[in-house]
């Protein structure tokens, strides 16, 4: 069995360079592990230095960590410059970093609204803009993490839902731009629902064990795991999805269609 620090020459993303924001935990970490296991060189971007460095050490030579505030324009330029200097190109950009602040429109302060928008929406705008500059000559794949909350009404996720809706709309604009300008860059959106991560654990009522909600072997009857989303990240990062652009993929076990 291949360990994470053995570079997979037969992997689905062998030889590709990937940048994963919010890559130290949750969906980001699962994506980093899978991309590295399938042959990519992965740069982990996160504010959590301890977790990010630990993940890079766990994976080995196929991964590196860089501290990165995704809401900061100057830091985006520095990170993309680091990618250019270290790897020479960028093949896969996964804009995954995000935060959740719950609250209805009556309860959400303007400060919290701006904070969520900066981390969830501004970061994707900056990532796409700065990433395009490095990717447009050689082509690649941009994968933006939105949420089912962008598609379904949630009265308690006002800022979060709006920020993820912005991600989806931005992704469509980037996809059209890349096609019209023949950049050979694909931009697609993932809409996960109910993924058990550190960010979502705090939203469960007292007495509910969130870990039990992932036990069922049938993905239709349990919460999604980060690895479920990472599998879609890998597909969109690979050449298997070379004809897919401007798509919004729901990862929700059919939850949306059940509500129609």
- Catalytic residue status for 183: no
The partner residues of 141 in beta bridges, in order of sequence, read: 92, 186
C-alpha count within 13 angstroms, C-beta hemisphere, residue 171:
32
For residues 206 and 159, is the Cβ–Cβ distance under 8 A? Answer: no
Give me the helix-helix angle, 123-135 and 158-180, nearest 10°.
20
How far is it, in rounded angstroms, from Cα 88 to Cα 124?
Answer: 22
Cα angle 103-108-110, degrees, rounded to a multiple of 5: 150
Q: In degrees rounded to 5, what are phi and psi of residue 163?
A: -65, -40
Catalytic residue among 87, 157, 160, 183: 160
For residues 88 and 134, is the Cβ–Cβ distance under 8 A? Answer: no
Residues taking part in catalysis: 160
């Amino acid at each position: 069995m291949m360990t994470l620090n053995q570079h997979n020459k037969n992997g689905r993303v062998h030889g590709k360079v990937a940048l994963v924001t919010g890559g130290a935990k949750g969906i980001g970490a699962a994506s980093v592990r899978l991309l590295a296991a399938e042959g990519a060189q992965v740069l982990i971007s996160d504010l959590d230095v301890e977790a990010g460095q630990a993940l890079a050490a766990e994976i080995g030579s196929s991964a590196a960590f860089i501290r990165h505030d995704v809401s900061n324009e100057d830091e985006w330029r520095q990170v993309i410059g680091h990618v250019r200097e270290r790897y020479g190109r960028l093949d896969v950009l996964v804009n995954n970093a995000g935060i959740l602040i719950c609250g209805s429109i009556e309860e959400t302060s303007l400060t919290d609204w701006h904070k969520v928008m900066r981390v969830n929406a501004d970061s994707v705008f900056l990532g796409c803009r700065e990433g395009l500059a490095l990717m447009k000559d050689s082509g690649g794949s941009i994968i933006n993490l939105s949420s089912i909350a962008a598609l379904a009404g949630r009265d308690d996720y006002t800022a979060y839902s709006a920020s993820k809706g912005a991600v989806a709309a931005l992704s469509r604009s980037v996809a059209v731009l890349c096609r019209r300008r023949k950049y050979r860059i694909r931009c697609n959106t993932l809409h996960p629902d109910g993924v058990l991560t550190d960010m979502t654990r705090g939203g469960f009522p007292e007495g509910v064990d969130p870990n039990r909600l992932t036990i069922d072997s049938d993905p239709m009857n349990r919460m999604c795991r980060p690895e479920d989303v990472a599998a879609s990240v890998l597909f969109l990062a690979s050449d298997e999805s070379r004809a897919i652009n401007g798509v919004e993929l729901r990862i929700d076990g059919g939850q949306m269609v059940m509500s129609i």
